[in-house]
Structure 1
Amino acid sequence: MKTQTPTQPSYFFPEPLDNTRLAHLCGPLDENLRQISAALDVTIFRRGEKFIVSGTNAERAVELLERFYAVANKVVPIEEVQLALVEQRAGLKPSFEPPAAAAEAKKEPGEVVSEEAEELERDESGELVSPMLKTRRSDLRGRTPHQIQYLKAVLEHDISFGIGPAGTGKTYLAVACAVDALERDAVKRIILTRPAVEAGERLGFLPGDFAQKVDPYLRPLYDALYDLLGFDRTQKLFEKQVIEIAPLAFMRGRTLNHAFVILDEAQNTTVEQMKMFLTRIGFGSKAVVTGDVTQVDLHKTQRSGLVDAMHVLKDVRGIAFSQFSSADVVRHPLVGRIVDAYEKSASMQELGALPGVAKPVARNARKKA
């Protein structure tokens, strides 16, 4: 590899040259290259076996190409590319790095590592240590410092909150922890709940039986269970009521012992509903509350139970709060940029500096004018 000054392009020459590995590196129709190019804001031009990369992040892109090529003896799934980009944005070394290279790798001068990453436990090779969960997916682990902190918080506390934008893994990791607890016999059942705001919690007026009424609102939780347990096993556990679906409106009056309870989309709970949910927790149980305070669907006159809990419970011993940011988004690279754009727009609107949005004028001022 030949690297020049940041204002000039960087080059990547695959060594040893292998057309099969080269095809795996580029992906179908060069999709892997497009993902790297979009995420790092660089231009990647390929001429035969020679790669020319231009842009301010050209060296980081070349580093990724080198590491992908080292493990490209098999097909590199697009998901691995996207997760590697997330890890690099978080200041971590991609998890696909070959073991020998990881053992010899050292922190290079000028390498950016987040403060959260510096505080977390590392192994002998300097890699961050993520809790291992017992699920069908052997590669499941925290990909960013915030995700690793979140996993540790869930495992070490009876009540945990995961708060942040969409796509940061809040719900998926919570379900993974629930499956892990069930597999280790730490709990006897998993209970999934979510406020059905769109139906006004009036589920009795919806067609179908109980499960069919709430199925559309709990679909993300189903998808995670199918991925972590498999479709057949998940269905059997539902039939045995080891896994239970329970709309938040139907939780009142229950005491949940030896259960792992997940409240998803908690930003759409009222203060009263949040208090009711948290007081359902019984002996030997864990609760995880997830939500995004920027996507509240409640009426403007109602205060979000999640926002309220963040202030009321912040100093309560035994309760953990984990905050995520756009750097933790593990979906398409554009999702992180979209989250940043909306956050910036919201901040500008609060300051009254958003273009095209006029500041409200008081009625008295209008009369004087």
Structure 2
Amino acid sequence: MARKHTIGDIAKLAGVSKATVSRVLNNKPDVDPATRARILQIMQEVGFVPSITASGLAGGRNRLLGVLIPSFNWFYVADIMRGVSETIGHTPYELLVYSINDMARDNDKGDILDHIFSTKLPAGLLAILPGRSAQYVERLHIHGFPVVMIDDAAHHTAMPWINVDNVQGARQAVKHLIALGHRRIGHILGKKDYLCTLERYQGYCQELEASGIAVDQTLVSQGDFEYLGGVEPARQLLSLPVEQRPTAIFAANDLTAYAVIDVANSFGLRVPEDIALVGFDDIASSLLVRPALTTVKQPFAEIGKHGVELLLSLLDDSAQPSFIFPSAETSRQPLQQVEAHSVQIVLSTRLVVRSSCGAKPLHHHMKDSFP
């Protein structure tokens, strides 16, 4: 097998430094045109294939970006990664993917992230939903390693952070159900101690109260964002006496909404004829379930895109931001400056109306529930 040529080999053949070869590889303008042409000609003659890590190191800058994911099995990680990869495709960077499952031991999580920092292999890290690994990601940030977090488990005010407007999204869902005439609207919460769970519950309460409807805690049940975790809370709500049972349910996510559909069927209830239903996420299967699910759409690809753009801006010394204004895709609420070179970006959501919310409330429910 022929030996693979290195940047050092090309530099010797061209009679230049490795840094000059690196500048040619990275399309830097400060290279003499004749020298550039000679280097490119030599590369072509020897069939040189550049190493992304070597070219970065020779030029004093790494061209790898690390992406930390919980698992590709998480139902929307692939959609976020699509936005990440499409954005990276327009840059000289490449991706290095790390996966840490929340089931892994804490020592293992710390060791992996310490390895990322100590080797300096990636120039920066985009942490997608790190969950309980977030404390270790924050440690990287404290030590000066460029990190952007996409996280809905907690509010990390001390570091660059991207999320969606969960409160407004929940209000959109509940407002739509109220507009259909519902007053007894149930809510199945997401996983305990997650920021998005709290924010979606807050939006649920705020929209009810804005419409003069008191929050009834008997209509609120605890789930965990999983299908199986949504079965029991759905049973609790749908087994209430008919005069107390909700006429509509806002589920904290789409998987929980799927559980509501199946439990309703087991109770002899129909969605949407007997129970109107709205989810949150708009994962791909929500268009395919029957009835098709009305849900709050998260801009997953946009989340990935903004995450990469923010991380790249942190790596660009000439354009490190301390504040980013919302784009047309983001929430209209102003973003708060947290600290130097640290921003929070909140993206807006959108209600996607399908078949599952079409039920009309029973008249005696309406009578009992009007303020």
TM-score of the superposed pair, with normalisation by structure 1: 0.26
TM-score of the superposed pair, with normalisation by structure 2: 0.26
